[in-house]
Structure 1
């Protein structure tokens, strides 16, 4: 191509040289007309001819130069404009295909470069979009710092967790974005040591405690160049709470099992050793052992029942049941305890109210709520049971005039083994699992159980059950 271009320029130069030579020869033929002996008219005709010849040569030369410019200079301007657009990032720009082998080859080369740049740009955009989607969908807070310690990447999870906007964080160092002090210290250690570090941090966010599992690691490029560090913070608050519930459960179960077992073992040892000869005392010991064994049996049965409910292996048998009949049956079951404390029950119910539910499970719910009201109420007080239909659900309310519950204890009321007054519930023979069982049964019926209470006034439990039959969980 280079030789071809040089030959074209040489040919153009030769054409111009020939025109100039021809013009010189023509003019040389008339040099003798400049002598003084030549007639002025002839000289005048010569000047006219000479002027005409010069104009003609000028026009021819302009035509030749215009063709040269059209063929070589204008395409160069066009190619220059296209390359400028490519340099500015407009990879859709294309050169026009001109006639001629030289221009055609140059046009094809520029367009090929433009296509390669456009393909690379699309590929980079796709990779950037995939990276953005991956970072956003991680599910954990992510921060990336450059070598100078400035933030250059933030995902949405971090923004939502720490309530910060990425625009306010980009370009700022890790010491200026308000991270907890222990996380700042660990980040600094990663910068100093360039080693992977894993640790846990407890953060206070909007009056809530958030437990984070933090992973930090240096970012190494393809050529081993250190680019910065990345910090991933996974929220493990729920896991920490579950672990605490597990510990509390083990401690509570151990305590609840230890009390009756200790009583049974102690009294049986005394009886076996013959230390007690009085028949009345022996009878008292037997009654205590029998009572504690019953407590132990009830505790084991409730634990098994609750375990089945939490594993979803218990069955809900849906039939047409009368809520009023369920309340009456439950009152018959607890009537003895009501008579012992000389308590009265006031009923506010219609004659009949039918829903689709599991009869035995609802009886269990009402019995547990009534037992709870009796256990935490003084003697000769009143328990009120209300049954009413509100829109598309039935509402059962059990109200007592008991000791009441403090507001800070209400959220934990349905936890296993949680007790307001341990001594009172133990005296009543409770296992501490009744309200947890109530919650599971009601939720299995797609219902809702809530509680309102005031210390020294009493407590109200509200159970809402849907009237329309639904597919129950098993």
Structure 2
């Protein structure tokens, strides 16, 4: 029993136990893996053979000749059963092994998937053949060669070769594990002895230090953890002084960090007196009223009394704060003798959550409506409710419009995702703004005509602009589309270009309903939408202008808006231009 109390023996036995356990688990895992791998490969090979059989049967007109050929090709060592129709399931084979396999096909419900679901099924089966048990792999492969839903190809093969390979692998694994175990035994004893010897010296030195005796410095024989422990022991007195200085420095660092934190930090003692507060906490105390201060004192008192942290929400001065009040426990009396309050301003996060919830609701509505219309009009056409060509074409046009609407919504969501992920790729090159504007306006020609909206264009620039052509088409399309939706019959939409020293300026104006002042500062935010009742027809998801601003900023440009209710809205876009040597021909 004395030897069992030795660290050497304990460490040695521990290493042996861990290594033995790992080797056993690894050996079992490897044997299971190889067995599964060999079975999987056999099933894969049988499937390849079945595909070859199917190819031969499909490629030859004489099925009988093809069947004889594939039997000669596949059988020996494998076996082949061809079922061309339901009557083949009841054939009486002279070969008892084939009879056993046919019986397995008829009785095993898993092979019904081959006929009913056209699925390939591989099963490992055991049968009594020639007075002993044999294990076979039986594969069922649906066939289309006989124009019959009940036709299939079945190939079976003995697993003796797999078993032999598995046994050979198991022997190799066992021998390797045995060699590793022997090597580990030698290494573990050597390692445990080398580790514990310096620990024994440290033990004797610690007892002498406890008795107040001076120690000679322990010799450091290595630079590992034990060597570092000896160095720490030798320098204990110096470390005490060093630790005191470090505590002082850390206290100063703590105060600086707390003052620099984005969250407020406020601490109380057991008499509810403030001990520590940073500038954020001071601002929070200035925001809350006397009633909320009393509420905070009550929460702190409850935390110190019961010793449980409390999360509390508090709204003050239109700001939403989350308070995390945690106790400071005195280990001697097992009771709270103070509390720390972390004050986190969650105003922006709550605002974003609300906007996301609104966005999800809007997107769900936007998706549901076109999907229902697509389903309804499609079913009407398929059910023959509309038969005249004009009505069918009208329904198909509606289906096309709703499909485009769905595509537009999905593209906007994908664009926002790319912007957030920083994956917006820009192809910046010199672009003729005249061509850009004219191409965009062509897309709105019919819309302008249908809604009786007048369109004016004026170009007062000569230089080329540095931009991504396709992205700027998207920008102009979005802004003009918004202008169309916020105008009525008889209104005007104009596009004007100007040129400054460094920029091409594109001004898009409309004489529509305008934007209320309270919306101006928010229209470029994601998910933000103004009054939908003021729009013409379908409204968007609140992502268009966010995408527009992101694209403009990616061009190192700017976008601004001026608007008045009942007067109209003007968007001003500034894009860097090519230097003066590049002009429009």
- Give TM class, smaller chain: 0.5 to 0.7
State the SS of the aligned residue for 1:427: coil
Is the alpha carbon distance of 1:161 and 1:352 closer, same or farther for their aligned partners in structure 2, counting shifts above 3 Å? farther
- Secondary structure (helix, strand or coil) at the match of 1:230 reads strand
Match in the other structure for 2:521: 411
Q: Which residue of 2 aligns with 1:141?
A: 264
1:291 and 2:401 are equivalent in the alignment: yes
Find 2:299's aligned residue among 170, 186, 197.
Answer: 186
Choose the corresponding residue for 1:256, options 358, 363, 366. 366
Q: CA deviation at 1:258?
A: 0.4
Q: TM-score, normalised by structure 1?
A: 0.63
2:357 aligned with 1:247: yes
| 1:135 aligned counterpart, secondary structure | helix
Supply the distance in 2 between the matched residues of 1:179 and 1:188 (Cα, whole angstroms). 14
Whether contact under 8 Å (1:317, 1:358) holds in the other structure is yes
CA contact (8 A) 1:344 1:383 kept: yes
Kindly indicate whether the alpha-carbon contact (under 8 Å) linking 1:403 and 1:455 is maintained by their aligned counterparts in 2. Answer: yes
Superposition pairs of residues 12-23 of structure 1, within 5 angstroms? none
Conservation of the 8 A alpha-carbon contact between 2:418 and 2:424:
yes
For the Cα contact (< 8 Å) 2:457–2:496, is it kept in 1? yes
Q: Aligned in 2, Cα 1:124/1:179: closer, same or farther, shift over 3 Å?
A: farther
List runs of 5+ in structure 2 lacking aligned partners: 1-240, 580-585
Distance in 2 between residues matched to 1:417 and 1:190, nearest whole Å: 40
Equivalent residue runs for 1:104-183 within 5 Å: 125-163=248-286, 179=292, 182-183=295-296
2:575 & 2:408 partners in 1: Cα distance? 27
- Deviation of 1:382 after TM superposition, in Å, equals 1.7
**Residue among 387, 401, 416 paired with 2:511:** 401
What CA distance in whole angstroms lies between the structure 1 residues aligned with 2:398 and 2:282? 61
How much does 1:302 deviate?
2.6
Deviation at 1:312, TM superposition (A): 1.8
Query: Is the Cα contact below 8 Å between 1:147 and 1:228 reproduced in 2?
Result: yes
**Partners in 1 of 2:330 and 2:455 — Cα distance?**
77
- Residue 48 of structure 1 corresponds to none
Equivalent positions of 1:326-365 (< 5 A) are 326-365=436-475
Instruction: Say yes or no: does 1:445 pair with 2:555.
Output: yes
Query: Could you tell me how far 1:443 is from its partner in structure 2?
Result: 1.8
Residue in structure 2 matching 1:387, options 481, 497, 509: 497
| 1:394-447 deviation line (CA, Å, top 9, x unaligned) | 332211001112122233423455444546757368565432221221121222
1:127–1:309 distance in 2 versus 1, CA, 3 Å: closer
Who is 1:202 aligned against? 314
- Of the three residues 301, 304, 325, the one matched with 1:216 is 325
1:319-365 CA-partner distances (Å, limit 9, x unpaired): 12233432233223322222323333333432413232222212221
CA contact (8 A) 1:213 1:236 kept: yes
When structure 1 is superposed on structure 2, of 324-333 and 364-373 the one drifting more is 324-333
CA distance, structure 2, for counterparts of residue 421 and residue 146 of structure 1: 52
CA shift, 1:125, in A, is 4.4
Answer yes or no: is the 8 Å Cα contact 1:324–1:350 preserved in 2: no
Cα distance in 1, alignment partners of residues 245 and 289 from structure 2: 36
Deviates more, 1:400-409 or 1:385-394: 385-394
The TM-score with structure 2 as length reference comes to 0.52
Greater C-alpha Rg: 1
> More displaced, 357-366 or 424-433?
424-433
In the TM superposition, residue 179 of structure 1 has moved relative to its aligned partner by 4.3
Residues 324, 353 of structure 1: 8 Å contact kept: no
Residues 174-225 of structure 1: per-residue CA shift (max 9 Å, x gap):
x9977456534422322332322223x23223xxx32222111222346447
Contact 2:502–2:576 under 8 Å retained in 1: yes
Q: Out of 403-412 and 312-321, give the one that drifted further.
A: 403-412
Change (3 A) 1:351 1:134: closer
In 2, are the aligned partners of 1:324 and 1:351 still within 8 Å (CA)?
A: no
Structure 1 unaligned blocks of 5 or more: 1-117, 165-174, 470-474
Paired with 1:176 and 1:229, the residues of 2 have a C-alpha distance of 21
- C-alpha RMSD of the superposition: 3.4
What is the aligned partner in structure 1 of residue 162 from structure 2? none
* SS of residue in 1 equivalent to 2:521: helix
Per the TM alignment, residue 313 of structure 1 is displaced from its structure 2 partner at its CA by 1.3
CA distance in 2, matches of 1:238, 1:363: 33
Query: What CA distance in whole angstroms lies between the structure 1 residues aligned with 2:289 and 2:376?
Result: 65
User: Is the 2:307–2:329 Cα contact (8 Å) retained in structure 1?
Assistant: no
Residues 342 and 380 in structure 1, CA contact (< 8 A), matched pair in contact too: yes
| Contact map agreement 1:180 1:203 (CA 8 A) in 2 | no
Determine helix, strand or coil for the equivalent of 2:493.
Answer: strand
Does the aligned pair in 1 maintain the 2:460–2:496 contact within 8 Å?
Answer: no
Within 2, Cα distance between the matches of 1:468 and 1:352? Answer: 10
